[in-house]
Structure formats: C-alpha cells, structure tokens
Amino acid sequence: MSEWTLLLMFIPTFFLISVSPGLCMMLAMSFGASLGLRRTLWVIGGELAGVGLIALTALLGYTRVLAEQPALMQGFKYLGALYLLWMGVASWRGGGQAGATRQEDSGRLGLVLRGFTVAISNPKSWLFMMTLLPPFISPALSTELQTLLFVALVILIECVNLLLYAYGGQRANQLLQGQGRGDLLGRVSSLLMMGVAGYWLLT
C-alpha cells in the first residue's frame, strides 16, 4: 500500500467519525435552528479553530500526555458530558431554544469563543484525534507536509459536516415554524444533547 493511498483512506474514515452526533454537531444544529446559518458561521469558525488545534497537538505528539494519564482523559470526558447535559437541560427549560438564543447578543467574538470552547472541551475530539491520526502518518513522507495535509483535511471535513448540521437545523426549524411547531426541533435537540451526555457519563 502506497503512502498516498493511506492518506486517501483517512478521508472516509474521518468523515464517518466526524459526521456522527456529538457536542460540536449538536451545537451547530442548535445554533442553526435558533440563529440561522449565516450567524452560526461564527460559531463554526470557533469550532474549527479548536478542532484544528486538537489535530495539530495529536500529530505533534502532545496528546501522549493525556494517553498516559487516564484520569485526566476521564476528567475531560466527564467535563464535556456535564457541559452538554447543562446545555440540553437549559435549552429544554427555555422552550427548546433559549440555550442558543441567549448567544445572539454575545457578538461575533462571543460566538467564536463559544464554538472554540466547546470544541476543545469535547472528549470525542481528543479521543479520536490521538488514536486515529498517528497511525496514518507514514515515515516515508515528510512529517511537516503530512501534518499540514492532515490538519487541513480535518478542518475541511469537519467544516462540511458542521455546515450540514447547521443548515439542517435551520431548514427543519423553518419547516416546523411554518406548521406552528417551532419548538419541536428545540425539544428534540435538547433530548439528543442530554442523551449523548448520559451515554458519555455511563460509559
């Protein structure tokens, strides 16, 4: 198997992992439903910065510290789960949308920081980056070149999926608003966030 074939195999592998529901995707869908796709782009920008930073640290080997400290990794996992649970409960208590709507007044920088904070506190990102990325690095190719390519691919694939979730949230909200059931998507999103958080806490 050539080194470039290994690189191409990474694309569908990471796409399937990225597109699965998680903290970042749920946040993008929630903001897309509440603020619309254009406003959500600032949140997505922050999330991509965070995911790119995690990918870079994984490729440079700094995540080995987490791998060697299981308690620290568990702490990240529970922190992310509790944060997701809090968002789900807050959104449910606010009629399914309040958790995201409050961010409308935070400005562009506030939205970017919200996305970045959520991304770097996402245990799914840390876990998969530090276990998935290193095996795809080939010693026969330039490490610097591969680092740039993998980080670029991670950001590109994550961006596509975040846009899909945000647009899906926006379109679903528009359809439900037209039927007089605008709070339904918010309720479903809240339940999904709480469900994912519960799964992380129990596993």
Check residue 29 and give its pLDDT.
Answer: 87
Check residue 65 and give its pLDDT.
Answer: 56
Residue 183 lies inside a defined structural domain of this protein: no
Residue 161 lies inside a defined structural domain of this protein: yes
Model confidence at 143, in pLDDT bands (50, 70, 90)?
confident
List Cβ neighbours of 46 (8 Å cut-off, separation of 6 or more): 111, 112, 113, 114, 115, 116, 117, 118, 119
Model confidence at 18, in pLDDT bands (50, 70, 90)?
confident
**Tokens found for residue 193:** 């966030």
- With beta carbons less than 8 A apart as the criterion, state whether 142 and 1 touch: no
Percentage of the chain lying above the pLDDT 90 cut: 19
Check residue 160 and give its pLDDT.
Answer: 96
Residue 101 lies inside a defined structural domain of this protein: yes
Q: Which domain holds residue 139?
A: 17-173
Question: How many domains are contained in the chain?
Answer: 1
Residue 146 lies inside a defined structural domain of this protein: yes
Check residue 167 and give its pLDDT.
Answer: 94
Model confidence at 76, in pLDDT bands (50, 70, 90)?
low
- Tokens 């994984």 belong to 58
Residue 156 lies inside a defined structural domain of this protein: yes
Q: 114 or 180: whose pLDDT is higher?
A: 114
